[in-house]
Structure 1
Amino acid sequence: MPNLLIHSMSEFSDIIVEGLALAHVQRICEIGAEFGGMSQTLADFASEAGGELISIDPSPKQEFLDWVRGAEHVRHIAKPSLSAFEDLTDVDAWIIDGDHNWFTVYHELKNVDALCQRDGKPMLAFMHDVAWPAGRRDMYYAPEQIPAEYLLPHNYEGGTTPGESDLLPHRGFRGMGQFAMALHEGGPKNGVKTAVEDFIAERNADGRELAYAEVPAVFGLGVLFDLDAPWSNALADLVIPYHENRLIASLEANRLANYLTVLDFQDRNAA
């Protein structure tokens, strides 16, 4: 049976593309390509803007590799994100959807901030997976690349459901050997949203204020941008209606409940 959960960042294409246009973006850096669904939308935008898409993914799916070979205005960097920043200059906007854990996301944002300051660019980042399941729980595609002091106890087989801190044995949403998840939800330095919050607190303490909005659907979209950017008011007007919208959050909770019920049926049949 095909995966019934739609969890691609491309579901947010309309918001992201309009935001890129408001910020007059030309050069885009995408972290995490996977199948390339969002990549193609970003490449089309960059081409029309006279710019470029840089896509960072050490091991994307074959569908992306087949597409990118013939894609103009696209440069693929086949490295882990934290090894790829040295290859980047003059990026106007960042699409972050790579490894969903505190260490990776926090240090991605630190690197993004440093490059923005070096190149005189306001910060603009669209980040996936800021809500359940990875908002407060680390997920690891390559746990061997996480320094030991940041790697939380984890496994590949346990699953999670909303409201449950501990992983459930062979139940719920899980990686099925493709990725691992932290054994427990919550606590310091655990999860994507925690990384975003820690980065924002650090930046704001330095007197450089960031704005943040969150769309509570499809695992969560976070929009992070400099308040003093010339386009910040226009971008805020775009995203504020979606920010922590209670109706959208309710629809997402219903969607997840239905999906997890299907997973439960599948698990019972398999048993």
Structure 2
Amino acid sequence: MDSSSSLARRAGTRDDPYGQMREARKQPLLLHSMTVFREIFEVVFAHREIRSVVEVGVESGQVSGMYLDLGATAVYCVDPGATARLRATLAENPALHLVTTPSPEVLPELPVADLYVLDGDHNYAVVERELSWILENAPGAVVVMHDLMWPCARRDLYYEPSPLAPADKHESSADGPTAWHDELTPAGFVGAGAFTVARHAGGERNGVATAVEDVLGRKGNELWRFELVPAVFGMGVLYRATPDADERLADALRPYSNSNLLATMENNRVALYTRVLQMQYEAAAQAGHADQLADTVSAQRREIDQLKAELHRAWEALRKR
């Protein structure tokens, strides 16, 4: 593609200057889907023979189908909370196999895969168990993980009701984190009943990134390499070092994993998004105050009207005497 056609594809043309913004309007305000990492998956598939995939945490089924588009022949879609719509979508393709047992328990029961995609529970206890099993039992696999940066890097997230034992959880809160200060806030990135987060960030056994560090730091795991793509909450690629092939994979991933530009844009993205959340919270609070004020004024008007009616009746009674 020459420079002029590339420029037109990204920025629009003289005759159609709004093309870029049409593309922008198609995206949700909060990018979070693994589909945005398609070109990273293309790199992985280009440098490894991927036939079977275990996907932990299934979205709409669109990502599951993407693995088939890239060359996989079987995808095991692990999602204990699969909706009727997701079940119907997966049932349309015999290469997509729905698994409703939680990942830490079901991984040993599934065929060993060429690619594991971990995007389920974003907390230390679950990710540590998933990774520990994979690194021990699937040394030839590639592992792709999501949510290795803010907000889950150093703070557990628990989908509620959480199946974890109390010993595997930190004290949690319905309030959420924000980019603008270190404390949790109801105006932050909250789960609205769907999830809670650990009250405190950092420390031991807390967060997805901490789980990755601990598993990789164990004896016997020295040959595993890790690359982080610092975009859309952070995508990690983990693979075992072998001659030649993995050097080419590392070289292909490096423009993404070494990009300070991507990291800067991600920091700016979460800062802007959490500012929007704060503004929405404040607007809702102001609307609530306005409604309360309107109710108070309405009640006072009724009292005034009642007093006027009573005074009128008293005046009429005095006139008739």
Match of residue 160, structure 1, among 166, 177, 192: 177
- Distance (Å, rounded) in 1 between the aligned partners of 2:176 and 2:244: 44
- Distance (Å, rounded) in 1 between the aligned partners of 2:129 and 2:33: 23
Partner of 2:273: 259
1:85 to 2:110 alignment? no
Match of residue 91, structure 2, among 59, 69, 86: 69
- C-alpha change, 1:164 and 1:63, in structure 2 (3 Å) is farther
RMSD (Å) for aligned C-alpha atoms: 1.9
- Distance (Å, rounded) in 2 between the aligned partners of 1:36 and 1:207: 32
- C-alpha change, 1:163 and 1:239, in structure 2 (3 Å) is farther
Partner of 2:189: 173
Deviations 1:196-218 (A, max 9, x none): 0101001xx22641111101110
Task: Give the C-alpha shift of residue 61 in structure 1.
Answer: 4.0
- C-alpha change, 1:65 and 1:243, in structure 2 (3 Å) is same
Partner of 2:148: 130
Contact 2:144 2:237 in 1 (8 A): yes
The one-letter code sitting in structure 2 at the alignment partner of 1:167 is L
Q: Where does structure 2 lack aligned partners over 5 or more consecutive residues?
A: 1-26, 286-321
Deviations 1:209-232 (A, max 9, x none): 111110111000001110126621
Task: Give the C-alpha shift of residue 114 in structure 1.
Answer: 2.8
Partner of 1:60: 82
Of residues 102-111 and 244-253 in structure 1, the stretch that sits farther from structure 2 once superposed is: 244-253
Q: Where does structure 1 lack aligned partners over 5 or more consecutive residues?
A: none
Count of residue pairs brought into register by the alignment:
259
Match of residue 188, structure 1, among 195, 199, 204: 204
State the TM-score, normalizing by the size of structure 1.
Answer: 0.89
- Distance (Å, rounded) in 2 between the aligned partners of 1:250 and 1:176: 28
Task: Give the C-alpha shift of residue 13 in structure 1.
Answer: 1.1
State the TM-score, normalizing by the size of structure 2.
Answer: 0.76
- Distance (Å, rounded) in 2 between the aligned partners of 1:162 and 1:245: 21
- Distance (Å, rounded) in 1 between the aligned partners of 2:164 and 2:258: 31
1:198 to 2:214 alignment? yes
Partner of 2:254: 240
Q: Which one has a larger percent helix, Structure 1 or Structure 2?
A: 2
Contact 2:150 2:233 in 1 (8 A): yes
Identity, in percent, stands at 33
- Where do 4+ consecutive residues of structure 1 move more than 4 Å? none
1:218 to 2:232 alignment? yes
- C-alpha change, 1:260 and 1:150, in structure 2 (3 Å) is same
Task: Give the C-alpha shift of residue 134 in structure 1.
Answer: 0.3
Contact 2:225 2:241 in 1 (8 A): yes
- Distance (Å, rounded) in 2 between the aligned partners of 1:137 and 1:199: 17
SS in 1 for 2:217: helix
Match of residue 209, structure 1, among 212, 220, 223: 223
The one-letter code sitting in structure 2 at the alignment partner of 1:57 is D
Contact 1:122 1:229 in 2 (8 A): no
- Distance (Å, rounded) in 1 between the aligned partners of 2:85 and 2:265: 31
Partner of 1:35: 60
Match of residue 14, structure 1, among 39, 43, 50: 39
Deviations 1:168-188 (A, max 9, x none): 2x1111111111100011111
Task: Give the C-alpha shift of residue 148 in structure 1.
Answer: 2.2
Higher relative contact order (CA 8 A, sep 6+): 1
- C-alpha change, 1:178 and 1:3, in structure 2 (3 Å) is farther
Deviations 1:133-152 (A, max 9, x none): 00110001146422222210
